[in-house]
Structure 1
Amino acid sequence: MVTSQTTITIKPVTTPVEEEQFLNLPWRVYKNDPHWVSPLKSDIAQQLSPDNSFCSYGRFHKLIAINAKEEAVGRIVAAVNERLTDEMGEKVGFFGFFECIEDQNVAFALLEAAETWLREQGMARMRGPIDLSTHNNCLWLVDGFDSSPRIMMPYNPPYYERFFLAYGGKIAKEAYAYHLPLQDGLNDKFAKAYRVASRSGIRFRPLQTKGEAFKADVSRLYDLFNRAFAHSWSSTRRTEEEFMAQARSLQDLVDPDIFPIAEYNGEMIGFFMALPDYNIPLKKVNGKLNWWGILKFLWYRRQIDRARVIVICCLPEYRRKMVPLALIHLAFQQGQSYQEAELSWVYEDNNASRRLIEETGAKIYKTYRMYEKQL
């Protein structure tokens, strides 16, 4: 495919050289950006491997844009998640893993190629950015470019939204990240909530992170997660194997002090999931955890002084027992080595979660969006 103003070839990724170009492209896009945190190349390669369990219920198509000098100047992945289309009853395909130099012609050529493939797969709409699943990386940052992303959060150049809207896309969903300095502590209502919950028979403990105990906790987290988030937008239930695989990938990163669990009569009924911001040391390893990268990672992890709160979960019938506020109190009491927290991401129309977050005093400091286009 050739654009009218810039000679660009869009081609499927089929050779080892093209694979390397695909993986290396972000270093070209972000080479002068002080806030970018490079992904681990091995993680991206694994996500897009034929061995990924996604391939048992979906399919994807990797594409790169090559200029006249045989240099990669853009990339995109089009994907069809059959679970999602079956569940929704709509023919919605995804685009993700998008990276592009600041050239609208390149962006248009990539989007057109992804759109063409999705249409050939029978899709009627294209949604993204979604890297195969909303359980992975998704959304584009549109406000808050003055600081680095926290762990497992997206980051991109400001021009991505402009290119997609110029291509004819529309905004489908908005989401926020909240920032909370921790020096001043929380309102007294959180400590009171902890006392109320404890008197009601709720028991709190940290996530177990070793051996069979970890596996048992993850299995219970999986059941609770599916009960609490059964109808999340543009998302489908993961298998327990997929959930367990992601949990194992995070096992060594967990700080039990900021991952409390709530139980009632031995049943897990809520949890607070936060992770130390490992993007601080990851920023130093330049995408490679070779022996030198591991040494740098271990050295700089000692500088971690902030965390990202990913999930605050509680079964609806226990909210009157003040469990969500109690979990927040416990995590913040035990996580006093952290100076600040990000609570992210939460959709604009998730009013219940936003009210809970805002009760802590946290303020919106980054805005993200998802997009759609009719095919």
Structure 2
Amino acid sequence: MSEQIVITPVSGKGDLDAFIELAYRLNADDPNWVPPLRADMRELLTPGKNPFHEHAKVQLFLARRGDKVVGRISAHYDELALEQPPEQGMGPGTGNWGLLEAEDEEVNAALIARAEDWLREQGMTRVLAPISLSIWEEPGLLVQGHDHPPMIMMGHHKPHYQGWIEAQGYAVAKKLYTYDLEVENGFPEIVNRIVKLGERSKNITVRRVDKSRFEDEAQIILGILNEAWSKNWGFVPFTETEKAYGAKKLKPIILEGANMIAEIDGEPAAFMISWPDINTKLIDMKGKLFPFNWAKLLWWLRNPQSPNFRVPLMGVVKKYQNTRIASQLAFMMIEYIRRYAVGEHGAKRAEVGWILEDNQGMVAIADAIESKVNREYRIYEKQL
């Protein structure tokens, strides 16, 4: 008979260290798991450093058998998510769990049950999971695409977690897709024609992000994002503190030519951001910056030569959504980013996403550029 599983709240530095370290041990045998930087994980989980905690309540749990840590989970709810309309996925009574790691199915079941109990204690009546920690970070469980490493800010999970979670009474709430495409040789001719038409328009300007005034540019991008995505499933708005925090965190990987703002008659109308895939460097760092990895990473970021780029976000102001000009702006921005990434940084492939399964506009754009689904994530739900 195995030893009893004991689940306790994380308390103090030793527990937090154990919470962080467990993922490295349980995933050590997976060549496609990318070890996150330990410093980034600690920042994510620390109130006062990550502004998510300003409007959320988070409880971390550890599972032990005897003295051995065998599992972990976060249970949390976001006050801003509770204020969203229920028909958009979040809403009153909706809590979350995430950051799940478990040695076996028994531990998995015990951790999920403890997270559910905590959420009930907080007055939650429904779970959306896994979400780690915010919907803007690493939402969903990977169920397709385990055979290759994830790109920057995308999760990677053991294949058997799917069955373990579904066995606890969870049903699929939403599927999220990422799309893979070859970028060296350009897009189909119909896309090129749409781009050329846009270039002839006197009303349309597509420009690079200007890092010399990066804070202002970030405000434009995140302002469009908050408006453009406000009716999307799962949407939670960024606070002003989160906007400033996100801009500071992402600035080192922002390349001007890989990030675009589109204007119509001089007014910002859309944006598209793209990042070189820093995971190609992190995978060999084992989650540690010191003693020498920080210098290697800093040197690489000066002029990253990366075969892979990720397009995580784009948005079009509501005024132009569901119009022909929205797709035209999207094709122009992604073509300009493609030219730059290939010409300046040696890009060979790109990944677009995540994209909601029922986001018809983005799915149509992904199909038009002949990209293919390479990863599927699932967000599950359960009534408490």
- Which TM-score band applies after superposition, normalised by the shorter structure? over 0.9
TM-aligned CA distance change 1:298 to 1:84, over 3 Å: closer
Give 1:195 shift: 2.6
Q: Is the 8 A contact 1:126 1:373 kept in 2?
A: yes
Give 1:299 shift: 6.3
> Whole-Å Cα distance in 2 between the matches of residues 58 and 34 of structure 1?
34
Give 1:354 shift: 0.4
Partner of 1:185: 186
The one-letter code matched in structure 1 to 2:245 is A
Write the deviation string for residues 20-58 of structure 1: whole angstroms up to 9, x where unpaired.
100100111111110110011111211211213233322
Give 1:328 shift: 1.8
Give 1:298 shift: 4.6
Partner of 1:334: 340
> Whole-Å Cα distance in 2 between the matches of residues 250 and 82 of structure 1?
25
The one-letter code matched in structure 1 to 2:54 is S
> Whole-Å Cα distance in 2 between the matches of residues 293 and 223 of structure 1?
35
Write the deviation string for residues 119-168 of structure 1: whole angstroms up to 9, x where unpaired.
00011111111123101111111011110000110101011111111111
Partner of 2:156: 155
Write the deviation string for residues 219-250 of structure 1: whole angstroms up to 9, x where unpaired.
11122111211122223111122022112111
One of 62, 65, 68 as aligned partner of 2:63: 65
Partner of 1:310: 312
Unpaired segments ≥5 residues, structure 1: none
Partner of 1:206: 208
Q: Is the 8 A contact 1:6 1:105 kept in 2?
A: no
Q: Is the 8 A contact 1:140 1:370 kept in 2?
A: yes
Deviates more, 1:228-237 or 1:105-114: 228-237
> Whole-Å Cα distance in 2 between the matches of residues 271 and 23 of structure 1?
35
Partner of 1:54: 52
Partner of 1:353: 362
Q: Is the 8 A contact 1:305 1:340 kept in 2?
A: yes
Q: Is the 8 A contact 2:172 2:380 kept in 1?
A: yes
> Whole-Å Cα distance in 1 between the matches of residues 305 and 383 of structure 2?
46
Unpaired segments ≥5 residues, structure 2: 86-90
Q: Is the 8 A contact 1:207 1:261 kept in 2?
A: yes
Q: Secondary structure at the residue paired with 2:134? A: coil
Partner of 1:32: 29
Give 1:5 shift: 5.5
Aligned ranges for residues 271-290 of structure 1 at < 5 Å? Answer: 271-290=271-290
Aligned ranges for residues 170-319 of structure 1 at < 5 Å? Answer: 170-200=171-201, 201-210=203-212, 213-298=213-298, 302=304, 304-318=306-320, 319=323
Q: Secondary structure at the residue paired with 1:80? A: strand
> Whole-Å Cα distance in 2 between the matches of residues 317 and 189 of structure 1?
25
Q: What is the number of residues matched between the two proteins? A: 368
Q: Is the 8 A contact 2:191 2:331 kept in 1?
A: yes
Write the deviation string for residues 150-208 of structure 1: whole angstroms up to 9, x where unpaired.
01101010111111111111111111111101233111223322232233321121111
> Whole-Å Cα distance in 2 between the matches of residues 193 and 81 of structure 1?
41
The one-letter code matched in structure 1 to 2:370 is G
Give 1:317 shift: 4.2
Q: Is the 8 A contact 2:191 2:368 kept in 1?
A: no
Residue 107 (str. 1) matches residue 112 (str. 2): no
Q: Is the 8 A contact 1:285 1:297 kept in 2?
A: no
One of 8, 11, 31 as aligned partner of 1:11: 8
Partner of 2:88: none
Q: Secondary structure at the residue paired with 1:335? A: helix
> Whole-Å Cα distance in 2 between the matches of residues 303 and 327 of structure 1?
21
Give 1:325 shift: 1.4
Give 1:66 shift: 1.0
Q: Is the 8 A contact 1:197 1:323 kept in 2?
A: yes
Give 1:87 shift: 2.4
Q: Secondary structure at the residue paired with 1:328? A: helix
> Whole-Å Cα distance in 2 between the matches of residues 40 and 91 of structure 1?
33
Q: Is the 8 A contact 1:306 1:341 kept in 2?
A: yes
TM-aligned CA distance change 1:317 to 1:190, over 3 Å: farther
> Whole-Å Cα distance in 1 between the matches of residues 229 and 189 of structure 2?
29
Give 1:294 shift: 1.3
Q: Percent identity?
A: 31
TM-aligned CA distance change 1:303 to 1:199, over 3 Å: closer
Give 1:266 shift: 2.3
TM-aligned CA distance change 1:221 to 1:202, over 3 Å: same
The one-letter code matched in structure 1 to 2:246 is Q
The one-letter code matched in structure 1 to 2:329 is V
TM-score when scaled to structure 1? 0.93
> Whole-Å Cα distance in 1 between the matches of residues 299 and 284 of structure 2?
10
TM-score when scaled to structure 2? 0.91
Q: Secondary structure at the residue paired with 1:338? A: coil
Give 1:365 shift: 1.4
Q: Is the 8 A contact 2:47 2:54 kept in 1?
A: no
The one-letter code matched in structure 2 to 1:77 is S
> Whole-Å Cα distance in 1 between the matches of residues 300 and 168 of structure 2?
41
One of 319, 324, 338 as aligned partner of 1:320: 324
TM-aligned CA distance change 1:106 to 1:61, over 3 Å: same
